[in-house]
Amino acid sequence: MLPQLLISGLALGAAYALVALGFVLVLNASRAVNFAHGDLVAAGGFATVALATLLPVPAILLLPAVLIVMAAVGLAIAALAYFPLSRRPPAALFVSTIAVGLIIRNGLDALFGAAPRAGPPLLGAGLVEIGPAVASRQSIAIIVAAALLIALLWVLLARTRMGKRLRASAEDPEMARALGVPVARMVAFAFALAAALAGAAGLLLANQFFVTPEDGGALMLKAYVAAALGGWGRLAGAVAGALAIAFFEVGVASLLSYPVAEALLYASALAILALRPQGLFPEHAGQRA
Amino acid sequence: MPASAPEPTQDPLRVGAPLAALALALAFALAWGDPYALRLVALSGLVATTALGYQLAFGHAGAISLFQGAAFGLGAYASALLARSVSSELMLTIPAAMLASGLAALMMVPALRRLGAHAFALATLAGAEILRLIAVNWESVTGGANGLAGIPAATLVGVALPRGLPVALVAWALFALAALATRALTRGPFALGLALMREAPLAAEASGIDTAARRLSLFVLSAAIGGAAGALHPFTLGTVSPEAMEIGVMITALVVTVIGGSRRPAGAVLAALLIVHLPEWLRGFEELYLILFGALLLATILFAPEGLVAALEEWLPTRAKEPDLPTPAQEMLAAQPAQRGPLLAIDGIEKRFGGVTALAGVTLAVAAGEILGVIGPNGSGKTTLLNIVGGQTDADAGGLRFIGRDIASPPHRRAAAGIARSFQTPPVVPGLTALDSVAAVAPGFGARMLRTARARALALLDSLGLTERAPEPMTALTPGEARLVDLARALMLRPRLLLLDEPAAGLTDPERTELARGLRRLADHGLALIVVEHDVDFLIPLADRLACLEAGRLIALGAPAAVRQDPKVRAAYFGAAA
Amino acid sequence: MTAPLLAIEGLAVDLAGRPALRDVVLAVAPGEAVGFIGPNGAGKSTLLKAVMGLVPARGTIRFEGAELGQLAPERRAALGIGYAPEGRRVFRGLTVAENLDVAGAAGAAERARRTEAALNLFPALRPHLNRRAWQLSGGQQQMLAIARALVAGPKLLLLDEPSLGLAPIVLEELTPALARIAAGGTALLIAEQNAARLRGVAGRVVEISRGRLSALVPGS
């Protein structure tokens, strides 16, 4: 039973990690929370469902298209809801991104209906034996795919010039501009990247967990909790936080029930915010939070 | 929300309230006799009340909350459960609902206290989700996903309230009651303080305003009002279900608040009537109307962020407004009681930021009635020193005693203890006059306290030579005048010690003379002053003593002329200049 | 008489409503090193920020003959203006090597060449290439800030109090490095608190006080 739970938790955590990473990327680059971020996951899931009806292939083949489509959506959000309001107080961005989320959520509802839909599996259905455990192929595929995407993200941020410029822009936008870095473009890039990651998470989740237009709210909340646990703004922390959330969810759900797991998750998050607002993981001296 | 408002010298025709009354009367008239239409009118009243509560947190306190829908739903469930098991008397269910929602909000306060804007929003969302999950899953109590049916009709002081017109009237009576009850909160010095808090939180803190306390208490109050509105909801339907808790209610409250105007009760009325009736007019395009809400919300925040009512009022002709100045209060700064020993004593203060040492053990004392000037090159630690005394930063080591006692460090507590501070960039709240900018730091609610606060503020502005400028909007003042207004703001707190950060920067020569004269008068009254300045020539005739910092250390302390000639000071500060 | 690289005329800047700079007139020839001194609050940083486009300014700033107008900072950097600000402002979370990689628009080969040249100027940075910038000392951070700006290959380098907070022994390394940069053909515009810090680097020193430039400091 335990190995089963571990694998389910890992798979869920891997998908959550993608969502949380995108959330933190935008947070760092723009100092803003995109309240439509969760809805982008649902959008990615439905995009997968839609593409699969046209092209009945394993989801892994649909992934590049979903990434591109969602990246475009991310750019659109930046153009509509972020850039026009970047000089206004945070409340304005809150309203604009909530509005965008509303449009996405209800657009999905209008196009696809409220009933849960299943996306195609990544590779194929079926079970796989790993030592004493028997896991679904989908779970393993999710873990591997997410790990690959996270690795690619790491390469992008740490090894490519664009990634370094993005990190510099996030840290000190004015100084970056004085060095010739087109900071506005970096922010747009962050939005696109975050949306692509969210869409990928949607694709990964759509088969085992189904997708409904209302999924966005809970996913947004979990991304936030992951980011807060990991130390607001730290990418590695967000991944750790996402895994922690997933294991908690899967563990408590197996003992009690899924709704109880969620409620306890949020209650624990609030408790942690009350007692240790800087997150669970130790801070590095001298590093920007 | 963006705080700009029309210039107070020109008063826009306030069409909001009459329009709202008209629209409401129309709504009732059109719905006459039609139970379904009356239910919509009742619902509009509940939405308006919920939005009114939300305005307190979101519009006035600037707290980005996503809890209001949950507050409404919790109130609905509390009321429904009471009605089914005890009594459907509104005088019982409404207060009970308010208590339930208020308590739920209160329980979230420890988690919310130290969160920044967007994190706050998401934390309130977490709280809302917990409540929704309980409502959906605690079937034995809440009826689960289907909710509870068979809610008896409400009674008001024993009189039965059938659905239809009576409930609709009560719903709007509730709104009127809530609007009246919160009136004093949104007028008076407290409300001005909220405006200062939204625009210049540091200055507000330094003026003794406990921004966290204000924000959180308004958050709890807003939830309670949402609960009150929710309490009536089961009586409009006869049932309660998790729909009353869902994000849709929150979104509705947000849309109504943004479209109506985040601080406009009349706007809440108009927007609520619009938003509740819109789906009816769009019958047949169900999914589209929610998308339309989203588009409307986006368009409003992009193009009319103050709300549609405010936008409408901008369009209409204005009329000149009479500036009404109160009589200045007679009392000014009370003479300070004699103080034995130094007023402020700091000992071995150290502060490091990462690898950089800002202060490396500074010791000095300031006596009542003394003006201490602080000079030093860039990076010498002058502003850090001021921040530590003012409470904006905590020292890493060393002691600080004020009037012989240790004092708590949050800036608003230091201000209450008697340490006031001015800032390099004086806070300018758009839409506030100079007079109101100063009155904003006084405590109190309602029009009468406002008059008292304004009288005191005017007296202070008088003493600084700003009588004529008092009714002008802050945005119309010169930088020198804004500095003096900031000084008046600091003096409103009747401080014993005043911290000034480069007060003479950017001032013309006559303004500098006037400022020096004003500061000298304050010291003669017994105030102690610490003045950080680059312009040494300004300090030489003014200061009783001069302190020079370099690289976080005190390298000279004494009579101004002597310090200026000190070779260490010349080397550090003047370098090659004569 | 060559045309000036940088020509400032009638520059006025307001900061937070108060006048920070008024009627500034200044010219820097190609390859010239000009210093300006003045006490805090005089407007030194503001002047450099105005040239870099980081604060809104009135008046004329011409670079290589072309009026800069409201051009964004990143475009000015592309034109050849480099900036080493007050307080260094290195990217603390990035390594030294990453800090150096961020600047400039040129191709990889050109940037590699310039990075190598910058490291030759500041050999103290070499052992720390893979260290995160927050771990460097103040002097090393200052060198990094200058090296970083150089990688973009500027024709004019703006330096805001490069000696601030540095121990004299570090200054002994910094001053010749700056002189070498100037000798290499890059124009310098350096703000400092006193003229002593500019000795050996600036050919001409101007004084700035209360937002206005005054006459040349004699004997510099």
How far does CA B382 lie from the centroid of its chain?
Answer: 30
Record the tokens describing residue B305, joined without a space: 């962020």
**Could you tell me if B402 and B274 lie in one domain?**
no
pLDDT at B576 over 60: no
pLDDT at C220 over 70: no
> Closest residue of C to B550, CA-based?
C165
CATH number at residue B23: 1.10.3470
Read off the pLDDT of residues B121-152 as tens digits, 9 standing for 90 and up.
989 999 999 999 999 999 888 888 888 988 88
**Could you tell me if B149 and B293 lie in one domain?**
yes
Task: List the strands of the sheet with B528-532, edge to edge.
Answer: B419-421, B497-501, B528-532, B371-375, B545-550, B553-558
Q: Which residue has the higher pLDDT, B22 or C210?
A: B22
Asked if residue B332 is part of any domain, the answer here is no
Mutate: best of B54, B65, B67, B118, partner A, most A CBs <10 A: B118
**Could you tell me if B308 and B413 lie in one domain?**
no
ipTM for the complex shown: 0.91
Using CA atoms, how far apart are residues B141 and C104, in angstroms rounded to an integer? 65
Min Cα distance C64 → chain B (Å) is: 32
Interface of A with B in 106-135 (CB under 8 A): 106-107, 109-110
What's the length of chain A? Answer: 289
Average of per-residue pLDDT values in chain B: 87
Residues of A with CB under 8 A from a CB of C: 161, 164-165, 167-168, 171-172, 174-183, 286-288
Of B18-32, B87-101, B252-266, the one with minimum mean pLDDT is B18-32
pLDDT at C138 over 60: yes
Min Cα distance C147 → chain A (Å) is: 11
C85 touches chain A (CB under 8 A): yes
**Could you tell me if B71 and B200 lie in one domain?**
yes
How far does CA A147 lie from the centroid of its chain?
Answer: 13
Write down the pLDDT at residue A288: 34
Q: Where exactly are the structural domains of chain A?
A: 2-213
**Could you tell me if B400 and B461 lie in one domain?**
yes
- Among A59-63, B283-287, B534-538, C42-46, the range with the most confident prediction by mean pLDDT is A59-63
Which among B266, B300, B316 is the end of a domain?
Answer: B316
- Among A131-140, B6-15, B315-324, the range with the most confident prediction by mean pLDDT is A131-140
Read off the pLDDT of residues B347-406 as tens digits, 9 standing for 90 and up.
889 998 866 788 988 999 999 889 999 988 777 788 899 999 999 888 888 889 888 888
Min Cα distance C68 → chain B (Å) is: 27
Min Cα distance B378 → chain C (Å) is: 6
Write down the pLDDT at residue C173: 82
pLDDT at C219 over 60: no
Q: Is C197 exposed, middle or buried (0-12, 13-18, 19+ CB in 10 A)?
A: buried
Mutate: best of B378, B429, B537, partner C, most C CBs <10 A: B378
Residue B413's identity, in one-letter code, is: R
The answer to whether the Cβ–Cβ distance between A90 and B118 falls below 8 Å is yes
**Contacts of residue B542, Cβ cutoff 8 Å, sequence gap at least 6:** B371, B373, B516, B519, B520, B531
> Closest residue of A to C96, CA-based?
A164
Write down the pLDDT at residue B574: 56
Residues in chain A predicted with pLDDT less than 50, given as ranges, are 284-289
**Contacts of residue A221, Cβ cutoff 8 Å, sequence gap at least 6:** A38, A266, B122, B125, B126, B129
Count of domains forming chain B: 2
Min Cα distance A149 → chain C (Å) is: 22
Using CA atoms, how far apart are residues A22 and A42, in angstroms rounded to an integer? 14
Write down the pLDDT at residue A128: 78
> Closest residue of B to C44, CA-based?
B378
For residues B258-268, give the mean pLDDT: 92
Confidence of residue B334 (pLDDT cuts 50, 70, 90): low
pLDDT at B283 over 80: no
Which domain, by its residues, includes B364?
344-574
Min Cα distance B128 → chain A (Å) is: 10
pLDDT at B59 over 90: yes
Instruction: State percent of chain B over pLDDT 90.
Output: 41
**Could you tell me if B413 and B473 lie in one domain?**
yes
Asked if residue B325 is part of any domain, the answer here is no
pLDDT at B298 over 50: yes
Write down the pLDDT at residue A285: 38
> Closest residue of A to B113, CA-based?
A274
Residues of C in contact with A288 (CB under 8 A): 92-93
**Could you tell me if B274 and B376 lie in one domain?**
no
How many pairs of residues across A and B have Cβ atoms under 8 Å apart?
127
Write down the pLDDT at residue B13: 66
Residue B369's identity, in one-letter code, is: G
**Could you tell me if B418 and B477 lie in one domain?**
yes
Residues of B in contact with A270 (CB under 8 A): 108, 111, 123, 126-127
Structure letter (DSSP) for residue C134: G
Of A5-19, A263-277, B328-342, B519-533, the one with minimum mean pLDDT is B328-342
Using CA atoms, how far apart are residues A105 and A227, in angstroms rounded to an integer? 23
The answer to whether the Cβ–Cβ distance between A177 and C77 falls below 8 Å is yes
The answer to whether the Cβ–Cβ distance between A180 and C104 falls below 8 Å is yes
The answer to whether the Cβ–Cβ distance between C37 and B577 falls below 8 Å is yes
Nearest alpha-carbon partner for A242 in A29, A41, A10, A6: A10
Write down the pLDDT at residue A286: 36
Q: Where exactly are the structural domains of chain C?
A: 31-55+72-216
pLDDT at B301 over 60: yes
Kindly report the CA angle at B539 between B535 and B540, in degrees rounded to 5? 115
Residue C115's identity, in one-letter code, is: T
Write down the pLDDT at residue C218: 52
Mutate: best of A87, A95, A245, partner B, most B CBs <10 A: A95
Cα C158 to Cα A114, C6, C86, C154, C188: the distances in Å are 59, 11, 10, 10, 6
Write down the pLDDT at residue C215: 60
Read off the pLDDT of residues B194-244 as tens digits, 9 standing for 90 and up.
999 998 888 899 999 999 999 999 999 999 999 999 999 999 988 999 999
Asked if residue B56 is part of any domain, the answer here is yes
Residues of A in contact with B129 (CB under 8 A): 217-218, 221, 262-263, 266
pLDDT at B49 over 90: yes
The answer to whether the Cβ–Cβ distance between B298 and A81 falls below 8 Å is yes
**Contacts of residue A173, Cβ cutoff 8 Å, sequence gap at least 6:** A183
> Closest residue of B to C199, CA-based?
B576
SS3 labels along B298-335: HHHHHHCCCCHHHHHHHHCCEEECCCCCCCCCCCCCCC
Min Cα distance B107 → chain A (Å) is: 10
Nearest to C194 among B355, B424, B576 (CB): B576
DSSP C73-130: HHHHHHHTEEEE-TT----TTSBHHHHHHHS-SS-HHHHHHHHHHHHHH-GGGGGGTT
CATH code 3.40.50.300 for C31-55+72-216: yes
Asked if residue B548 is part of any domain, the answer here is yes
Confidence of residue B333 (pLDDT cuts 50, 70, 90): low
pLDDT at B323 over 70: no
Write down the pLDDT at residue A267: 94
Structure letter (DSSP) for residue A280: S
Read off the pLDDT of residues A184-216 as tens digits, 9 standing for 90 and up.
999 999 999 999 999 999 999 998 888 999 999
